Amino acid sequence: MSPPSPRTGFLAVVSGPSGSGKTTLCRKAVETDGCFHSISCTTRAPRTGEVDGVDYHFLSRDEFLARTVRGDFLEWARVHGNFYGTLRSDVLDHIEAGRDVVMDIDVQGAQLVRACEDPFIRAAVIDIFILPPSMAELESRLSGRGTESEDQLRLRLYNALDEMRHWREYRYTIVSGSPDEDLERFLCLLRAARLRTAGLRTPEGLLGGEAATAADDEPTPPRREPELFS
Ligand code: 5GP
């Protein structure tokens, strides 16, 4: 049996309006930084080139709603008229095994993850908002993608304003600049997240290892007060 990982993984919750570049950042974190990307479920139709089980688990509305009733989702929300959700199983096993997960979810989903009752999940979360430098830039990035219909584009721009009102709820914000700058800042945050005290397991042989706890009848040693004026 392989020894347990010296730390638990983090759960990077990344939000920002469509066109902010968050999906690209998450993809790069997987390609270059060893993170896992949680594959969400959605009721939206696949875009050209999207593969079921790779980009999303594409579900019918009935399947999706059945899974919400079964409690399969860590969080789920209605976004741009479709349902999206993260499977609990997709995230928990990874972070327990010390693997870092990035998830690209909307602001409602991020609120639900932050409010999650499971202290293990809450301790693993690092939340990052990606802000576009201006509305004009966002509009040009969105229309440049060419993946949305005119109606969808208008809806996404309208929703972008709503989404951007929530940026202060996140611990970290990246104001998007060049792709290289954004990636460097993003990777800095992920590297710092690997050093979180909350994610560390006490090393074997140091303070008795993680499992060691003081016996109930063991006296508490007196606390040594700092000697301020010695
Ligand atoms: P898209 O349709 O462009 O792939 O994604 C639309 C929006 O849905 C994005 O803002 C994305 O962050 C959000 N989204 C994707 N997966 C999930 C999810 O599992 N949960 C929530 N709450 N939002 C998601």
Shortest-distance atom of ligand 1 to CA 55:
4
Shortest-distance atom of ligand 1 to CA 41:
19
In the sheet that holds 101-104, the strands lie side by side as 36-37, 101-104, 11-15, 125-131, 172-175
HEC assignment per residue over 75-142: EEEEECCEEEEEEHHHHHHHHHCCCCEEEECCHHHHHHHHCCCCHHHHHHEEEEEEECCCHHHHHHHH
Is 38 near ligand 1, meaning CB less than 6 Å away? no
Asked whether the beta carbons of 39 and 53 are under 8 A apart, the reply is yes
Q: Mean pLDDT of all residues in the chain?
A: 88
Q: From ligand 1's centre to the CA of 184, what distance in Å?
A: 23
129: tokens are 């908002």
- For residue 121, is pLDDT > 90? yes
Which whole number is the average pLDDT over 210-223? Answer: 45
Burial class (CB in 10 A: 0-12, 13-18, 19+), 5: middle
The answer regarding whether domain 11-38+91-217 maps to CATH 3.40.50.970 reads no
Is 79 near ligand 1, meaning CB less than 6 Å away? yes
Q: From ligand 1's centre to the CA of 196, what distance in Å?
A: 27
- For residue 230, is pLDDT > 90? no
Strand pairing class (41-42; 57-58): parallel
Shortest-distance atom of ligand 1 to CA 22:
12
- For residue 212, is pLDDT > 70? no
157: tokens are 């721009």
* Phi and psi angles of residue 108, each rounded to the nearest 5 degrees, phi first: -65, -45
Q: From ligand 1's centre to the CA of 197, what distance in Å?
A: 30
Is 190 near ligand 1, meaning CB less than 6 Å away? no
Q: What is the pLDDT of residue 227?
A: 54
Residues 65-111 pLDDT 10s? 999 999 999 999 999 899 999 999 989 999 999 999 999 999 999 99
Is 148 near ligand 1, meaning CB less than 6 Å away? no
* Phi and psi angles of residue 15, each rounded to the nearest 5 degrees, phi first: -130, 165
The pLDDT confidence band at residue 224, using thresholds 50, 70 and 90, is low
- For residue 139, is pLDDT > 90? no
Q: From ligand 1's centre to the CA of 106, what distance in Å?
A: 6
Is 43 near ligand 1, meaning CB less than 6 Å away? no
CA of 149: how far to CAs of 72, 152, 154, in Å? 32, 5, 9
Is 74 near ligand 1, meaning CB less than 6 Å away? no
Q: What is the pLDDT of residue 22?
A: 94
CA of 145: how far to CAs of 149, 164, 166, in Å? 11, 20, 24
Residues 15-73 pLDDT 10s? 999 889 999 999 999 999 999 999 999 999 999 999 999 999 999 999 999 999 999 99
* Ligand 1: residue whose CA is nearest its atom 19: 85
Domain-by-domain residue ranges, the chain? 11-38+91-217
* Phi and psi angles of residue 119, each rounded to the nearest 5 degrees, phi first: -65, -25
Residues 164-184 pLDDT 10s? 999 999 999 999 999 999 999
- For residue 197, is pLDDT > 80? yes
